[in-house]
């Protein structure tokens, strides 16, 4: 494993020389380390690049990590990872991607993740994306996530991309069965000339299914972000989405939430707020002894925490 | 000592609010500013904190001319201000905000101590975000806690009683009394509440952009009782007596 990969791993996952539990480390499109556990089996796909991850029914408290790193320019990595989560399992999946370039050539990682959650299973999915290095080549991360949640399963997604990535197109789609719950917490910070687009499509198909989608974004400098969410209530269900954005300098944010209530007992709500940091917030922190710059950094830090 | 000399301030559209106002607050004293709504109390507090910049006049603090000193620097010199309308922050917890205010990490028992002074139980609040889910009274009490955490030479409280329930109010009065006894610091409280007027060393009435009358609290309470018209158009007069 390259030193750059180690640096990236420390940033994007809890790696400190080793992983707890099952893992697979992907470096520039190749596998540089894999360990399965008794309950979590990781296998290479036969027909496509990527992995099949089988989590046995009733597995409790285990973690599986599948970070991907791109360490130089002129790489276009495409990977398909499928997760099969057994009934009643309760696990943590740590994904994440780091891209490093020192040259003018572009580097891209495109991870396509599918989650099939069995009845009553519970998954916490953590994903952190970063870009590092002084290369001028565009660093792109384009994740696609598809999830199918069977009865009473819970998927909690916590994703963060705090700067460094030049181009991002994130697509997240989910279908929920009866009683299933999906919680998404996404944080994106773009700066310089970066762009990030995020698209969500959640179908609430089962009775009492629910989604809570919270997106926080900060667009600074000349960066541009787009947010598009579609929540479709096909059954008695609850849906809530919240898009909160702070813009500074010439940052731009487009937000387009869509709600489709296709059942009279579908209760769907959307909240959106885009604007500069409130002047009052900066004033308050300055009265605590902070400079204007320190106040802004503190507000943004908190907002994206 | 804090000294304001011939302070005037007009709104951006030119309406005069503070008119040649003079005020002296000696060290270690508690001064209550009261007076009619719109009289200029909050404006005066913002001038002291450096949030508004006076059009004319001079401000001295601790023997130094701070007329041109900005908010951050004044805060560092030991001026604290609890806002009449507290500000909310998404994603910042009560613990974090108190630490930002104190300028250092705070142990749990210290946070607990500060929060109990405003009648909040630390266990329930330290990890709450200072966001819109906090009630009006809760956020107000957290605002007060942030300035208590700073332990400044001069603290200005802008209507600390507003929105606070009776039980917490008693607690708060107690806290002010403690501050007055234990601190050599100075407190300025803007208030319409008789119970707060009673703990003052001095009372000043701000009306129509000026200090209309000021003096030792006992004397002032008497004059106020005898002559309600001093307050003039004070719409919250009933709250005073
Ligand atoms: N930034 C501003 N822009 C315009 N007008 C302002 C501004 N700040 C204060 N004012 C006006 O100045 C006057 C004094 O306001 P201030 O808030 O100081 O009153 P106050 O004495 O604190 O009143 P209250 O008892 O209601 O809190 C009011 O008429 C207010 O509308
Ligand atoms: Mg006021």
Which spans in B103-165 are helix H? Answer: 108-117, 122-125, 136-150
Could you give the 3-state DSSP secondary structure of residue A265?
A: coil
* Chain A residues touching residue B81 (CB < 8 angstroms): 287
Query: Exposed, middle or buried by CB within 10 Å (0-12, 13-18, 19+), for A80?
Result: middle
| pLDDT at residue B225 in the model | 78
Could you give the 3-state DSSP secondary structure of residue B101?
A: helix
| pLDDT at residue B103 in the model | 94
pLDDT confidence bin for A80, thresholds 50/70/90: very high
Is B241 in CB contact (< 8 Å) with chain A? Answer: no
CA atoms of A171 and A82, how far apart (whole Å): 16
Tell me the per-residue pLDDT of A2-44, one tens digit each, with 9 for 90 and over: 999 999 999 999 888 889 899 999 999 999 999 999 999 999 9
Of A216, A286, A303, the CB nearest to B71: A286
Q: In the structure encoding, which two tokens stand for residue A141, read together?
A: 């991360």
CB–CB contact B91 A280 (8 Å): no
Q: In the structure encoding, which two tokens stand for residue B116, read together?
A: 């109990």
CA atoms of B224 and B218, how far apart (whole Å): 10
User: Considering only CA atoms, which residue is closest to atom 16 of ligand 1?
Assistant: B40
User: Average per-residue pLDDT in chain A?
Assistant: 96
Predicted interface score ipTM higher than 0.90: yes
Residue whose token pair is 């572009």 = A106
Tell me the per-residue pLDDT of A81-125, one tens digit each, with 9 for 90 and over: 999 999 999 999 999 999 999 999 999 999 999 999 999 999 999
Task: Check: CB of residue A51 under 8 Å from CB of residue A22.
Answer: no
Is A297 in CB contact (< 8 Å) with chain B? Answer: no
Q: Which of A13-17, A167-171, A280-284, B106-110 bottoms out in mean pLDDT, i.e. has the lowest?
A: A13-17
Alpha-carbon distance A281 to nearest alpha carbon in chain B (angstroms): 6
Q: Does pLDDT of A51 surpass 80?
A: yes
The DSSP 8-state label assigned to residue A169 in this structure reads E
CA atoms of A55 and A195, how far apart (whole Å): 35
| pLDDT at residue B213 in the model | 92
Is A10 in CB contact (< 8 Å) with chain B? Answer: no
Task: Check: CB of residue A28 under 8 Å from CB of residue A75.
Answer: yes
CA atoms of A195 and B150, how far apart (whole Å): 41
Angle value at C-alpha A142, between A138 and A143, nearest 5 degrees = 150
Task: Check: CB of residue B239 under 8 Å from CB of residue B71.
Answer: no
CA atoms of B25 and A222, how far apart (whole Å): 49
Q: What is the DSSP string of B177-228?
A: HHHHHH-SSEEEEE---HHHHTT-SEEEEEETTEEEEEEEHHHHHHHHHH-G
| pLDDT at residue B165 in the model | 86
* Chain B residues touching residue A281 (CB < 8 angstroms): 87, 89
Residue A60 to residues A26, A39, A40, A88, A95, Cα–Cα distance (Å): 25, 9, 11, 8, 19
Q: What is the DSSP string of A173-211?
A: EEEE-TT-EEEEEEEEEE-TT-EEEEEEEEEE-STTEEE
Is A288 in CB contact (< 8 Å) with chain B? Answer: yes
pLDDT above 70 coverage of chain A, percent: 100
| pLDDT at residue B236 in the model | 47
Q: At what angle do helices B136-150 and B166-182 cross, to 10 degrees?
A: 10
The Å distance, Cα B59 to ligand 1 centre, comes to: 20
Pocket lining: B46 vs ligand 1, CB cutoff 6 Å: no
| pLDDT at residue B163 in the model | 86
Tell me the per-residue pLDDT of B177-218, one tens digit each, with 9 for 90 and over: 888 777 678 999 999 998 899 889 999 999 999 999 999 998
CA atoms of B186 and B155, how far apart (whole Å): 6
| pLDDT at residue B228 in the model | 60
E strand or H helix that includes residue A302: helix A292-303
CA atoms of A283 and B128, how far apart (whole Å): 22
| pLDDT at residue B231 in the model | 53
The DSSP 8-state label assigned to residue A75 in this structure reads E
Tell me the per-residue pLDDT of A180-220, one tens digit each, with 9 for 90 and over: 999 999 999 999 999 999 999 999 999 999 999 999 999 99
CA atoms of A222 and A276, how far apart (whole Å): 14
The Å distance, Cα A43 to ligand 2 centre, comes to: 67
CB–CB contact A298 B72 (8 Å): no
Of B83, B91, B96, the CB nearest to A284: B83
Edge-to-edge strand list for the sheet holding B210-216: B79-82, B154-158, B186-190, B30-34, B202-207, B210-216
Return the CA Rg of chain B. 18
CA atoms of B122 and B107, how far apart (whole Å): 12
| Closest-CA residue of chain A to B83 | A284
Question: In order along chain B (241 residues), what is the average pLDDT of each group of 10 residues?
Answer: 96 95 93 95 97 96 95 96 95 96 94 90 88 93 94 94 86 85 84 90 95 92 73 46 37
User: Residue B178 CA to chain centroid, in angstroms?
Assistant: 16
Pocket lining: B39 vs ligand 1, CB cutoff 6 Å: yes
* Chain B residues touching residue A288 (CB < 8 angstroms): 75, 100-101, 103, 146, 150
């Amino acid at each position: 494993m390259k030193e750059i990969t180690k640096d990236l791993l420390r940033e994007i996952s809890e790696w400190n020389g080793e992983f707890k539990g099952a893992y697979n480390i992907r470096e520039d499109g190749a596998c540089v380390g894999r360990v399965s556990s008794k309950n979590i089996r990781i296998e290479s796909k036969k027909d496509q690049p990527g992995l099949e991850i089988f989590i046995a029914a009733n597995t409790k408290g285990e973690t599986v990590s599948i970070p991907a790193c791109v360490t130089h320019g002129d790489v276009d990595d495409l990977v398909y990872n499928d997760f099969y989560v057994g009934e009643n399992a309760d696990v943590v999946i740590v994904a994440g991607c780091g891209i490093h370039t020192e040259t003018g050539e572009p580097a891209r990682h495109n991870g396509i993740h599918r989650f099939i959650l069995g009845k009553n299973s519970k998954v916490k999915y953590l994903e952190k994306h970063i870009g590092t290095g002084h290369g001028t080549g565009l660093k792109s991360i384009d994740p696609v996530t598809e999830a199918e949640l069977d009865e009473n399963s819970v998927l909690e997604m916590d994703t963060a991309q705090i700067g460094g990535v030049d181009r991002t197109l994130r697509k997240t789609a989910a279908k929920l069965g009866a009683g299933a719950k999906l919680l998404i917490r996404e944080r994106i910070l773009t700066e310089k000339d970066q762009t990030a687009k995020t698209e969500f499509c959640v179908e609430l198909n089962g009775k009492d299914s629910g989604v809570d989608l919270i997106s926080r974004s900060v667009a600074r400098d000349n960066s541009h972000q787009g947010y598009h969410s579609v929540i479709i209530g096909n059954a008695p269900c609850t849906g809530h989405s919240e898009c909160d954005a702070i813009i500074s300098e010439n940052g731009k944010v487009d937000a387009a939430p869509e709600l489709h209530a296709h059942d009279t007992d579908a209760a769907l709500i959307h909240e959106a707020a885009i604007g500069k940091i409130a002047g009052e917030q900066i004033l308050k922190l300055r009265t605590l002894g902070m400079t204007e710059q320190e106040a802004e950094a503190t507000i943004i830090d908190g907002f994206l925490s | 000592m804090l000294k304001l000399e011939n302070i005037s301030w007009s709104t951006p559209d030119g309406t005069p609010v503070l008119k040649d106002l003079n005020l002296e607050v000696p060290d270690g004293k508690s001064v209550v500013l009261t007076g009619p709504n719109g009289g200029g109390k909050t404006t005066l507090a913002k001038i002291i904190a450096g949030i508004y910049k006076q059009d004319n006049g001079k401000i001295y603090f601790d023997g130094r001319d701070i007329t041109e000193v900005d908010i951050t620097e004044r805060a560092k010199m030991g001026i604290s201000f609890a806002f009449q309308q507290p500000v909310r922050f998404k994603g910042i917890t009560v613990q974090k905000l108190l630490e930002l205010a104190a300028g250092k990490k705070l142990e749990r028992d210290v946070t607990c101590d500060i929060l109990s002074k405003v009648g909040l139980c630390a266990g329930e609040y330290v990890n709450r975000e200072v966001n819109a889910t906090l009630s009006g009274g809760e956020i107000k009490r957290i605002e007060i806690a942030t300035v208590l955490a700073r332990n400044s030479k001069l603290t200005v409280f802008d209507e600390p009683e507003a929105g606070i329930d009776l039980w917490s109010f008693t607690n708060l009065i107690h806290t002010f009394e403690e501050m007055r006894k234990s601190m050599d610091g100075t407190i300025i409280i803007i208030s319409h509440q008789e119970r707060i007027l009673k703990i003052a060393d001095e009372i000043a009435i701000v009306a129509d952009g000026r200090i209309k009358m000021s003096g030792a609290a006992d004397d002032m309470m008497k004059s106020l009782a005898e002559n309600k018209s001093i307050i003039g158009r004070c719409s919250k007069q009933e709250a005073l007596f």
